[in-house]
Each structure stands twice: as structure tokens, then as C-alpha cells.
Amino acid sequence: MSAALTEHPVAPRDRARRARRYDGRRRFTGWRCFVPRRFDVTISLVLVCHDDSVPRDDSEVLKGGAVGGATRVGRTVRRPVGPWTPAVHELLEHLRSRGLRGVPEVQGIDDDGREILTYLEGRGVPVDDEIVLDAVLEEAGQWLRDFHDAVDDFRPDGPRFWRQTGEVELEPDQIICHHDPGAYNWIIQSGHFVAMVDWDMAGPGDPLQDLAFLAWTGVPLYREIPVEGVARRLDLLCEVYGECGPFTLLDRVAERMTLASERIAAGIERGDEGLANLQKVGEPQRTRDRVAAFRERIPAIQAALG
Ligand SMILES: Nc1ncnc2c1ncn2[C@@H]1O[C@H](COP(=O)(O)OP(=O)(O)O)[C@@H](O)[C@H]1O
Ligand SMILES: [Mg+2]
């Protein structure tokens, strides 16, 4: 506790509360009920080690990735790079310059040739086991809206190399999409959507492709859940994103996810190691099968939408 704190004006109720928590030597006494006095020094050291200003060199492989994976090193994340990395970094820098929240900051390339990004505090979403709250889905939809607004004036002067298309120009009717905004790439903190990670698939596209992709695991549409919930959540998502009704969105989903399976197959074919890793989880057939099952559920979802 710094001396500076005591110099600020303190409301009487706070002063009384503080007096209950600290003894005359200004030491935190809340632990006393279960920690003997001689351990006070140890407690102080633990608190110092948790200070963000202290460098950390610990590392761990992060869960939730099936393509290239990510490793946390201290307060950074290290990920494999490819010919698409310069364009992705240019995109991320543009988004940060536009003030878009929830985007990792590029910090360079490490000695092992991996990209260094800021570690965004929170947790991932295990999509097969969890359905995010309606409020989190709305926050993700709002973030997508903000992303598409922020990326609208990102118009590179000439072709760029993107992972799924190779070197192409951005067409006038396209924007740069995330192209993998599934819930497994969201970061949740204290029950709120706070960030979107994994930008390697970014490239030219049409904004509704991203919305459809987000709905696939965010609603989710790839799992069989009660249609009333699906209809309600499609409505919420379209309401917050704007410009699109739930029937239109539903129409786009099968097409977008079929494209996803085709792109995985094409990536495997051309020797993209990361996309080849998806075979371990059954891709691209897994998505093909899920799209076929989803098509059969569409009439019931439409009926629930009214
Ligand atoms: N910048 C980051 N900050 C915090 N967590 C991250 C970050 N990047 C990735 N992660 C976590 O690691 C997981 C795997 O990383 P990801 O980049 O998605 O790998 P993959 O390309 O294999 O899908 C993500 O789902 C997320 O939970
Ligand atoms: Mg990922």
C-alpha cells in the first residue's frame, strides 16, 4: 500500500472500511484468519511476482488451435508465419490505427522465425461443449460490425499475398474479411467477448461471408440445438450486425461453409502444412457432413423464424 493513497481525500465510509482491513502498521490483515504472522513476507513476495511490470519467461502451448497452433511466451503469443504474414500484419496494423478493440498487436518476429503478438487475457470457447450466452453472441456480432467498418478503408495499393487465394487485388466490391471468425477464435473475459484472434485466413471477400462463418459456431448452426433458440439467436445477431435479416443469413451459411471445406481441401492439395493439420480432426469431410445435416434442418429453422 503506497503512502500516496492515504493522501487522497477519503470518504468517511471508505475510511472506516479501510480501518477494518489494515492494522496500525498499514499492513493487510485480512489473511490473518488463516495465515500465521511469520508468513507475511512470503505473501508480499507473491504479490510482487504477480505485478505485470515483472517480466515473465514462462511459456505454454495454448489450447483450441488445430491449424498452426499458438504458444504463449510471457505476455506474448508466438505463431508460425507464411507468405501471407506480411499482408496480415499490414491489416492488423491498419485495424489498430483505426482504434478497433480486441485485435492482437504485432510485435515482430522472434529468433525462431515466429510472429510475436500480444497475449490477450481471457479464455477460448470450446465450441463442441459450450454455447455462449446470448449477450456474448451479440457482443461478437457488434465486434464484427466494428471490424467491417474499420477495414472498409483498408485498400492496399496493388496485390497482396493472402493465404487462401495467393496474390490477388482487392476488388472494389470486396473488403478484407477475417474468414475464420468462429467462436473457437474468440477470447472471453469475465463473461464478455473481448477479442478475435487467428487472422491467418484473412483475405478479400464479402462481409456476409464473415457473418455466416461466425454464425456457424457462434449460434451454433453446425450443432443440432432446439430451433427456437437458433431462430432467436439468428435474430439477435442480425439485429446487432445490421444490414441483414436472418433468412438472408441462413441462405448464406451452407454456401460459406461449403467454401470453407473446399478451401481446406485446396490447402491440403497445395501442401499448406497448417491446413493439412486439420485432417487430424476429420476435415474437410467433417464440415461437408455438417453442412449436409444443416441443410436438412433449414426448413425447421425457417419455420421457427416465422
Ligand atoms: N493473441 C492471443 N492472445 C490470447 N490467446 C490467443 C492468442 N492467439 C491465440 N490464442 C489462443 O490460442 C488458441 C490457438 O491459437 P490459434 O491462433 O487460433 O491457432 P490455430 O491457427 O491453430 O487455430 C486460440 O483459440 C486462442 O484461445
Ligand atoms: Mg484458431
Q: What is the pLDDT of residues 99-128, one digit of tens each?
A: 999 999 999 999 999 999 999 999 999 999
Does residue 197 form part of some domain?
A: yes
Does residue 287 form part of some domain?
A: yes
Does pLDDT of 282 surpass 50?
yes
Residues 292 and 175 in one domain: yes
Angle CA(235)–CA(137)–CA(75) in degrees, nearest 5?
Answer: 160
Does residue 152 form part of some domain?
A: yes
Non-local (6+) Cβ contacts of 90 within 8 A are 156, 160
Query: What dihedral angle (degrees, nearest 10) is formed by the CA atoms of 277, 280, 286, 288?
Result: 40
Does residue 86 form part of some domain?
A: yes
Residues 157 and 269 in one domain: yes
CA–CA dist 96, 108 (Å, integer): 15
DSSP three-state, residue 73? strand
Residues 258 and 285 in one domain: yes
CATH number of the domain residue 214 falls in: 1.10.510.10
Residues 72 and 159 in one domain: no
Residues 35 and 179 in one domain: no
Does residue 145 form part of some domain?
A: yes
Does pLDDT of 31 surpass 80?
no
Does residue 125 form part of some domain?
A: no
Atom of ligand 1 nearest to the CA of 124: 27
Mean pLDDT of 195-211: 98
Residues 154 and 202 in one domain: yes
Mean pLDDT of 20-27: 33
CA–CA dist 288, 149 (Å, integer): 31
Alpha carbon of 183 to ligand 2 centroid (Å) = 9
Alpha carbon of 152 to ligand 2 centroid (Å) = 24
Predicted structure pTM score: 0.83
Find the distance separating the first CA and the last CA of the chain, reported in whole Å: 60
Strand partners, 106: 117
Alpha carbon of 95 to ligand 2 centroid (Å) = 19
Q: Is 291 exposed, middle or buried (0-12, 13-18, 19+ CB in 10 A)?
A: buried
Residues 180 and 284 in one domain: yes
Residues 230 and 83 in one domain: no
Atom of ligand 1 nearest to the CA of 64: 25
Q: Which ligand is nearest to the CA of 71?
A: 1
Provide the grid cell at 105.
498487436
Number of domains present in the structure of the chain: 3
Does pLDDT of 243 surpass 80?
yes
The pLDDT-based confidence of 36 (bands split at 50, 70, 90) is: very low
Provide the domain limits for residue 23: 3-49
Alpha carbon of 293 to ligand 1 centroid (Å) = 28
Does residue 66 form part of some domain?
A: yes
Alpha carbon of 62 to ligand 1 centroid (Å) = 7
Atom of ligand 1 nearest to the CA of 69: 22
The pLDDT-based confidence of 23 (bands split at 50, 70, 90) is: very low
Angle between helices 134-151 and 85-97 (to 10 degrees): 100
Residues 300 and 181 in one domain: yes
**pLDDT of res. 141:** 98
Among residues 68, 80, 14, 41, which one has the least CA distance to residue 185?
Answer: 68
Provide the grid cell at 89.
500484419
CA–CA dist 117, 77 (Å, integer): 5
Q: Which ligand is nearest to the CA of 280?
A: 1
Residues 239 and 92 in one domain: no
**Measuring from each residue's beta carbon to the nearest atom of ligand 1, which residues come in under 6 Å?**
62, 64-70, 77, 79, 104, 117, 119-120, 124, 184-185, 187, 197-198
Residues 150 and 286 in one domain: yes
CA–CA dist 106, 81 (Å, integer): 12
Mean pLDDT of 167-186: 98
CA–CA dist 46, 44 (Å, integer): 5
Alpha carbon of 8 to ligand 2 centroid (Å) = 46
Residues 265 and 201 in one domain: yes
**pLDDT of res. 62:** 96
Q: What is the pLDDT of residues 56-113, one digit of tens each?
A: 568 999 998 999 999 999 999 999 999 999 999 999 999 999 999 999 999 999 999 9
CB atoms within 10 A of CB 129: 6
Q: Which of 115, 185, 273 for mutating ligand 1's site (highest number of atoms within 8 Å of CB)?
A: 185
Q: Which of 127, 163, 198, 201 for mutating ligand 1's site (highest number of atoms within 8 Å of CB)?
A: 198
CA–CA dist 29, 35 (Å, integer): 10
Provide the grid cell at 115.
510472429
Atom of ligand 1 nearest to the CA of 200: 21
Does residue 45 form part of some domain?
A: yes
